[in-house]
């Protein structure tokens, strides 16, 4: 074997094939030697997981060139779509940034344009002023033309941006709602959220959609707040009846909103009434103490001075006395107002009790015994006696008639008629220390095979309860509830607070002149309708007179004279004709006048 350059294997360099195999083996060994990368939750230095925001869905603003730094798509940006108020706000901010950037670009271009312009040489020693000004005007025009040329594209873009901004502002303005705010007394400050917007009465047209909190404040009165949902384009009206701050202690003060809530039983309402009665006694004692403290703290009247006349002293004493009595009257008035509010609150709770007691309860009567008497074929009804007098919960006795078709009545077993009974009674049981029984029966319902039957009659009294103490008083109240003579007056929280807000606002809107008496509308109706009747009467009178003259003319036509009497006949005929025309003209005038006044009176019902 010949000895070449690499006859010794140890001296031979590796070839490409060997190098590729080595690289492959190295890659495999590295892959198996490394561990798999595990997902790790982001944590802070203490090991607590850090909140991670969810990926946001691309907003309309983001898809208009912001992400890719492309020019804004002003058409899509300013289109009126279903975007919300906040989205429009973001769009406006984006546009304002672009407008500001465009202004900066224009300023930069202007500076560059000036820098590339040949400088304006100052006025030469031998140059006339007119020549210098002409040269300066030419230089200024050149600068202006170059600037206009260099900034044209920016100016056009700026105009488009401002136009798009205006459209977005109009789109956003359509989402605003408005509110009219009034209060009693007036001149109270209005707060929307944390911003004071003015004093009552006021209109505010920039309510942003969403939850709105409006507060009304006035010195010496309790704060008034309301919260509502503002929707685009809505018009709200708010009337705040402010309450004077109480002069009484806050201890045992009544939470009127909670107390006058319709959310408990008769016993619960009665317990609330007792609390209010106790509060009445408390403030009655407090007003005495308030007046005593006032009398002791009211500045004493200085005695008559040596140089003071009796008349001057008496005048000073009268002023002192009147002022003291005025303040006493103010305290007493506040006590009366508060006491009346407590009395009205009690009336509201008593009204709630009547509503609760008048509620009809319906339940099946499984122990009802039915006795059917004779059958009236003409009226198709049985005599009926239904009772469950042994029941300790809802005993009753009912006598009357039940309607049953003849075909059904013929095949019916009267001893086992198969009726299903249901009782209806008021939620006013007869209660004693040992009794709680429903006796205020309202109606008996009978059905057979799923069909309702016509039942007529009345409930009788259960004998074993008539002699129980308190039954007569209960019976009188129950009968009043059942007959409807004792019914709810519709009292509520607003009544207790003395708030006639809706009525007051309506009265104010109609005009202060309607505050008492007939008002201007009432007097207008009286005058206009009286005038219409009078003019209508005159129109009728002239109509009758015109008809009489027409009859006389007809008579003359039927009795034409000969030539000798034609002149006298003509005079009479012409006289009747003239009177007829005058009456018809006056009838037309009076008739039109009556119609105008009548329409004027009718119009007061609508305006």
Q: Is the pLDDT of residue 63 over 80?
A: no
Residue 270: the pLDDT is: 95
- The structure tokens listed for 70 are 């492309």
Q: Are residues 460 and 554 in the same domain?
A: no
pLDDT digits 0-9 by tens, 405-421: 999 998 888 888 999 99
pLDDT digits 0-9 by tens, 479-537: 999 999 999 999 998 898 876 433 443 344 444 433 444 556 677 778 887 888 888 88
Quickly state the pLDDT bin for 18 (edges 50, 70, 90).
low
pLDDT digits 0-9 by tens, 143-180: 899 889 988 988 898 898 888 888 888 887 888 888 99
Q: Is the pLDDT of residue 268 over 90?
A: yes
In a domain, 367, yes or no: yes
The dihedrals phi and psi of 146, each to the nearest 5 degrees, come to: -65, -40
Instruction: Calculate the dihedral angle through the C-alpha atoms of 421, 422, 426, 428, rounding to the nearest 10 degrees.
Output: 70
Q: Are residues 155 and 189 in the same domain?
A: no
The residue with greater pLDDT, 262 or 241, is: 262
What are the C-alpha distances in Å from 250 to residues 246, 277, 541? Answer: 8, 16, 76
Q: Are residues 537 and 576 in the same domain?
A: yes
Which candidate, 226, 236, 235, 239, places its Cα nearest to that of 182? 239
In a domain, 7, yes or no: no
In a domain, 500, yes or no: no
The average confidence (pLDDT) of the chain is 83
CA–CA–CA angle 177, 183, 186 (5° rounding): 120
Residue range 283-295: mean pLDDT, rounded: 91
In a domain, 206, yes or no: yes
Do 421 and 368 contact (CB within 8 A), yes or no?
yes
Residue 246: the pLDDT is: 82
Question: Considering the entire predicted model, what is its pTM?
Answer: 0.54
For strand 381-387 and strand 177-184, is the pairing parallel, antiparallel, or unpaired?
unpaired
Kindly list the strands in the beta sheet with 381-387, ordered across the sheet, starting from the edge strand earlier in the chain.
369-376, 381-387, 397-403, 455-459
Domain boundary residue, one of 241, 266, 285 = 241
Residue 573: the pLDDT is: 78
Highest mean pLDDT, choosing among 29-33, 250-254, 285-289, 528-532? 285-289
d(CA 590, CA 570): 30
Do 154 and 109 contact (CB within 8 A), yes or no?
yes
Q: Are residues 550 and 568 in the same domain?
A: yes
d(CA 555, CA 43): 121
Quickly state the pLDDT bin for 381 (edges 50, 70, 90).
very high
Residue 9: the pLDDT is: 46
Give 421: exposed, middle or buried? Use CB within 10 Å, 0-12, 13-18, 19+. Answer: buried
Residue 578: the pLDDT is: 86
Q: Are residues 99 and 187 in the same domain?
A: no
pLDDT digits 0-9 by tens, 82-139: 667 788 888 888 888 889 989 999 999 989 888 888 888 898 888 889 988 999 999 9
Tokens 């309790």 belong to which residue?
Answer: 222
Quickly state the pLDDT bin for 555 (edges 50, 70, 90).
confident
d(CA 281, CA 289): 13
Quickly state the pLDDT bin for 603 (edges 50, 70, 90).
confident
Domain boundary residue, one of 469, 495, 527 = 469
Residue range 434-443: mean pLDDT, rounded: 94
**% of the chain with per-residue pLDDT over 70:** 84
The residue with greater pLDDT, 180 or 593, is: 180
Q: Is the pLDDT of residue 258 over 70?
A: yes
Domain of 185?
Answer: 177-241
Q: Are residues 193 and 223 in the same domain?
A: yes
Which candidate, 89, 94, 92, places its Cα nearest to that of 71? 94
In a domain, 327, yes or no: no
Count other C-beta atoms under 10 Å from residue 603's C-beta.
13
Kindly state the helix (H) or strand (E) to which residue 237 belongs, with its residue range.
Answer: strand 235-241
**Cα Rg for the chain, rounded, in angstroms?**
49
The residue with greater pLDDT, 224 or 49, is: 224
Residue range 18-46: mean pLDDT, rounded: 54
Q: Are residues 165 and 68 in the same domain?
A: yes
Residue 349: the pLDDT is: 96
**% of the chain with per-residue pLDDT over 90:** 39
Q: Are residues 380 and 457 in the same domain?
A: yes
Q: Are residues 163 and 183 in the same domain?
A: no
Residue 273: the pLDDT is: 96
In a domain, 191, yes or no: yes
d(CA 373, CA 415): 10
Quickly state the pLDDT bin for 281 (edges 50, 70, 90).
very high
Q: Are residues 161 and 219 in the same domain?
A: no
Looking at the 3D structure of the chain, how many domains does it have? 4
d(CA 132, CA 431): 116
Q: Are residues 461 and 535 in the same domain?
A: no
Q: Is the pLDDT of residue 355 over 90?
A: yes
Kindly list the strands in the beta sheet with 224-230, ordered across the sheet, starting from the edge strand earlier in the chain.
195-199, 189-192, 210-217, 224-230
d(CA 214, CA 227): 6
In a domain, 535, yes or no: yes
Domain boundary residue, one of 469, 485, 502 = 469
Instruction: Calculate the dihedral angle through the C-alpha atoms of 218, 223, 224, 225, rounding to the nearest 10 degrees.
Output: 120
d(CA 437, CA 395): 8
Question: Is residue 398 helix, strand or coil?
Answer: strand
Count other C-beta atoms under 10 Å from residue 560's C-beta.
9
Highest mean pLDDT, choosing among 5-19, 161-175, 440-454, 567-581? 440-454
Residue 230: the pLDDT is: 87
Cis peptide bond prior to 201, omega within 30° of 0: yes
Q: Are residues 374 and 405 in the same domain?
A: yes
The dihedrals phi and psi of 57, each to the nearest 5 degrees, come to: -70, 135
Highest mean pLDDT, choosing among 8-12, 13-17, 335-339? 335-339
In a domain, 200, yes or no: yes
Residue 2: the pLDDT is: 43
Which candidate, 463, 469, 478, 480, places its Cα nearest to that of 432? 469
pLDDT digits 0-9 by tens, 322-335: 999 999 999 899 89
Q: Is the pLDDT of residue 33 over 80?
A: no
d(CA 423, CA 392): 14
For strand 177-184 and strand 235-241, is the pairing parallel, antiparallel, or unpaired?
parallel
Q: Is the pLDDT of residue 436 over 90?
A: yes
CA atoms lying within 13 Å on the CB side of residue 492? 6
Q: What's 208's domain CATH number?
A: 2.60.40.1120
Residue 87: the pLDDT is: 82
pLDDT digits 0-9 by tens, 214-226: 999 999 888 889 9
Residue 421: the pLDDT is: 94
């Amino acid at each position: 074997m010949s000895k070449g350059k690499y006859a010794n294997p140890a001296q031979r360099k590796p070839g490409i094939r060997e190098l590729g195999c080595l690289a492959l083996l190295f890659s495999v060994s590295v892959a198996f030697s490394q561990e798999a990368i595990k997902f790790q939750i982001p944590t802070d230095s203490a090991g607590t997981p850090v909140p991670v925001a969810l990926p946001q869905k691309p907003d309309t603003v983001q898809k208009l060139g912001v992400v890719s730094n492309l020019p804004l798509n002003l058409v899509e940006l300013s289109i009126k779509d279903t975007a919300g108020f906040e989205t429009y706000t973001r769009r406006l901010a984006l546009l304002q940034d672009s407008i500001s950037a465009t202004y900066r670009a224009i300023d930069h271009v202007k500076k560059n344009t000036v820098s590339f312009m040949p400088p304006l040489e100052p006025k030469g020693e031998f140059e006339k002023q007119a020549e210098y000004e002409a040269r300066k005007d030419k230089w200024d025009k050149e600068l202006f033309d170059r600037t206009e040329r260099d900034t044209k594209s920016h100016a056009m873009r700026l105009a488009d941006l401002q136009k798009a901004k205006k459209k977005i502002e109009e789109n956003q303005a359509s989402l605003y709602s408005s509110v009219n705010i009034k209060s009693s007394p007036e001149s109270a400050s209005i707060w929307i959220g944390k911003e004071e917007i003015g004093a009552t009465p006021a209109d505010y047209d920039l309510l942003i959609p969403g939850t709105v909190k409006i507060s009304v404040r006035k010195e010496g009165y309790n704060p008034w707040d309301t919260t509502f949902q503002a929707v685009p384009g809505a018009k709200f009206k708010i009337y705040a009846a402010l309450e004077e701050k109480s002069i009484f202690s806050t201890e045992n003060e009544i939470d009127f909103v909670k107390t006058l809530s319709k959310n408990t039983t008769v016993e619960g309402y009665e317990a609330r009434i007792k609390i209010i009665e106790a509060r009445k006694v408390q403030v009655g004692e407090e007003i005495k103490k308030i007046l005593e403290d006032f009398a002791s703290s009211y500045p004493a009247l200085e005695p008559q001075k040596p140089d003071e006349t009796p008349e001057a002293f008496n005048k000073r004493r009268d002023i002192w006395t009147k002022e003291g009595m005025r303040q006493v009257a103010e305290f007493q008035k506040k006590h009366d107002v508060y006491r009346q509010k407590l009395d009205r609150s009690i009336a509201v709770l008593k009204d709630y009790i009547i509503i609760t007691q008048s509620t009809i309860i319906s339940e099946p009567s499984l122990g009802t015994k039915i006795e059917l008497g004779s059958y009236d074929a003409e009226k198709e009804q049985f005599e009926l006696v239904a009772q469950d007098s042994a029941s300790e919960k809802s005993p009753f006795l009912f006598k009357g008639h039940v309607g049953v078709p003849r075909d059904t009545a013929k095949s019916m077993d009267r001893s086992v008629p198969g009726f299903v009974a249901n009782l209806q009674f008021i939620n006013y049981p007869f209660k004693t220390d040992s009794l709680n029984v429903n006796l205020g029966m309202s109606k008996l319902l009978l059905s057979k095979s799923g069909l309702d039957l016509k039942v007529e009659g009345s409930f009788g009294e259960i004998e074993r309860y008539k002699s129980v103490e308190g039954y007569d008083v209960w019976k009188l109240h129950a009968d009043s509830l059942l007959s409807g003579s004792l019914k709810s007056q519709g009292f509520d929280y607003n009544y207790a607070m003395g708030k006639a807000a809706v009525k007051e606002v309506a009265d104010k809107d109609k005009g202060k002149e309607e505050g008492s008496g007939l008002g201007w509308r009432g007097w207008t109706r009286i005058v206009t309708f009286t005038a219409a009747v009078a003019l209508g009467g005159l129109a009728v009178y002239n109509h009758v007179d015109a008809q009489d003259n027409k009859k006389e003319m007809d008579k003359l036509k039927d009795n034409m004279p000969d030539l000798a009497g034609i002149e006298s006949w003509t005079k009479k005929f012409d006289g009747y004709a003239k009177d007829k025309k005058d009456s018809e003209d006056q009838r037309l005038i009076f008739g039109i006048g009556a119609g105008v006044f009548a329409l004027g009176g009718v119009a007061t019902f609508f305006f």
